[in-house]
């Protein structure tokens, strides 16, 4: 007969939850509620005057064509970065999972870019691809390719996508590698004995078994693209040219910090927050169903 342990103390479970709750409240609910509050106010940069304006900040936000443009930019940017960084990292991880001679070195080198700060990563890519000074931009010019991220929006987008992907590959690589290593060798061997080639084994055995990792990374990557790529964009393009790389989070910064429009900026943060919460909920509801744990 099994005996379940029951604590009769009603308070204890809550007490045990307190540290976690404090962290959540202080670092999430408190700032989030401040943003919501701020979004209903109009305030000057110094905070000397503050006035309740209701939904005016939201109204003027949704009247801006630039805001819809930044939404589209975010959509393009995040799909490209998430898709590329996930697929490239998966490719690298499967290669690193093989029996290689210098596997340790290879893995270590793969992880390094993650330690680079986003702004520094941005500057590195600028040095390589600055239209007239960049070391890699010059060969492009010799090939008569008119590389100009300063004016061509697609070029600028390519540049920030490359920098953002490069930085995120390491993180994804690490998780994919761990995921691959946890797949039992016996399953793969059984597949091989049944005559399945490496490609078939990958798509029918490895990929489905890896799906919890992929799903987790998808969520993390989307959040990364929405928020953490700000430093890269600021360093590489400053949101330009002509707003071609102004994502939603960059616009929050531009309007709030450069423009001193805290109310408008807060309204954008709230919209962004709602979108990310909705997106994550959708991912959990629909994508997670297909995940095989």
Partner 1 sequence: MAFRQFGAAATVTVALALASPAHAVTELQWWHAMTGANNDVVNKLAADFNASQSDYKVTPSFKGSYADTMNAGIAAFRAGTAPHIMQVFEVGTATMMSATGAIKPVYQLMKDAGEPFDPKAYLPTITGYYSTSKGDMLSFPFNSSSTVMWINNDELKKAGIAEIPKTWPEVFAAAKKLKAAGHETCGFSNAWASWVHIEQFSAWHNVPIGTKANGLDGFDTELKFNSPLHVKHLQNLIDLQKDKTYDYAGRANGGEARFASGECAIFLTSSGYYGTAKSTAKFDFTSAPMPYYPDAAGAPQNSIIGGASLWVMGGKKPEEYKGVAKFFTFLSDTNRQADLHQKSGYLPITKAAYEKTKADGFYEKNPVLQTPLKELTNKEPTENSRGLRFGNMVQMRELWSEEIEAALAGKKTAQEALDAAVARGNAMLRTFEKTAK
Contact between residue 10 and residue 16 where contact means Cβ atoms under 8 Å apart: no
Provide DSSP, 28-83.
IIHHHHHHHHHTTEEE-TTSS-EEE-TTHHHHHHHT-HHHHHHHHHHHHHHHHHHH
134 binds partner 1 per the rule CB under 8 A: no
CB-nearer residue toward partner 1: 74 or 168: 74
Which 3 state secondary structure label does DSSP give 198? helix
Task: Work out whether 255 is an interface residue with partner 1 (CB under 8 A).
Answer: yes
Q: Among residues 82 and 233, whose Cβ is nearest to partner 1?
A: 233
Which stretch in 38-46, 77-85, 218-226, 274-282 sits in contact with partner 1 by CB under 8 A? 38-46
Instruction: Specify the residue, 173 or 255, whose C-beta has the smaller distance to partner 1.
Output: 255
CB of 242 to partner 1, least distance (A): 4
Please, what is the minimum distance in Å from the beta carbon of residue 221 to partner 1? 29
Residue in 54, 104, 139, 259 binding partner 1, rule: CB under 8 A:
259
Calpha distance 269→253 (Å, rounded): 10
Per CB under 8 A, which of residues 192..251 are in contact with partner 1? 238-243
Half-sphere exposure (Cβ direction) of 238: Cα atoms closer than 13 Å:
5
Q: Distance between CA 189 and CA 180 in Å, rounded? A: 14
Q: Is 254 in the site for partner 1 (CB under 8 A)?
A: yes
User: Max alpha carbon distance in the chain (Å)?
Assistant: 81
Sole binder of partner 1 in the list 48, 102, 115, 193 (CB under 8 A): 48
In angstroms, give the least distance from the CB of 57 to partner 1: 10
> How far is residue 48's CA from residue 64's CA, in Å, rounded to a whole number?
27
Q: What share of the chain is helix, strand, coil (3-state, %, to 5)?
A: 70, 0, 25
Binding residue (CB under 8 A) for partner 1 from 4, 9, 49, 99: 49
CB of 160 to partner 1, least distance (A): 15
For residues 89 and 44, what is the distance between their CA atoms, to the nearest angstrom?
A: 45
Residues that bind partner 1 (CB under 8 A): 42-49, 60, 66, 130, 132-133, 141, 150-153, 238-243, 254-255, 257-261, 264
């Amino acid at each position: 007969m099994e005996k379940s342990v029951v604590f009769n103390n009603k308070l204890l479970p809550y007490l045990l939850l307190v540290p976690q709750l404090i962290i959540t409240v202080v670092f999430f609910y408190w700032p989030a509620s401040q943003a919501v509050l701020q979004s209903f106010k109009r305030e000057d940069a110094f905070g000397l005057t503050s006035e309740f304006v209701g939904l005016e900040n939201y109204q003027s936000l949704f009247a801006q064509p630039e805001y819809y443009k930044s939404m589209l930019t975010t959509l393009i940017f995040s799909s490209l970065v998430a898709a590329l960084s996930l697929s490239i990292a998966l490719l690298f991880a499967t290669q690193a999972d093989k029996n290689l001679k210098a596997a340790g070195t290879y893995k270590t080198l793969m992880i390094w870019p993650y330690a680079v700060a986003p702004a520094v990563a941005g500057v590195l890519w600028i040095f390589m691809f600055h239209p007239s000074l960049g070391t890699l931009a010059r060969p492009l010019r010799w090939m008569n390719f008119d590389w100009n991220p300063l004016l061509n929006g697609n070029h600028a987008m390519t540049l920030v996508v490359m920098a953002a992907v490069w930085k995120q590959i390491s993180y994804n690589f690490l998780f994919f590698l761990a995921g691959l290593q946890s797949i039992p060798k016996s399953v793969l061997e059984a597949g091989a004995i049944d005559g399945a080639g490496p490609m078939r084994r990958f798509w029918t055995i490895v990929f489905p078994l890896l799906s919890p990792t992929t799903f987790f990374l998808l969520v993390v990557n989307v959040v990364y693209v929405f928020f953490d790529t700000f430093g890269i964009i600021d360093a590489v393009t400053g949101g330009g040219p002509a707003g071609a790389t102004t994502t939603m989070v960059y616009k929050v910064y531009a309007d709030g910090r450069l423009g001193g429009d805290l109310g408008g900026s807060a309204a954008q943060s709230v919209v962004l927050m709602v979108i990310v919460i909705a997106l994550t909920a959708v991912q959990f509801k629909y994508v997670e169903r297909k995940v095989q744990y």
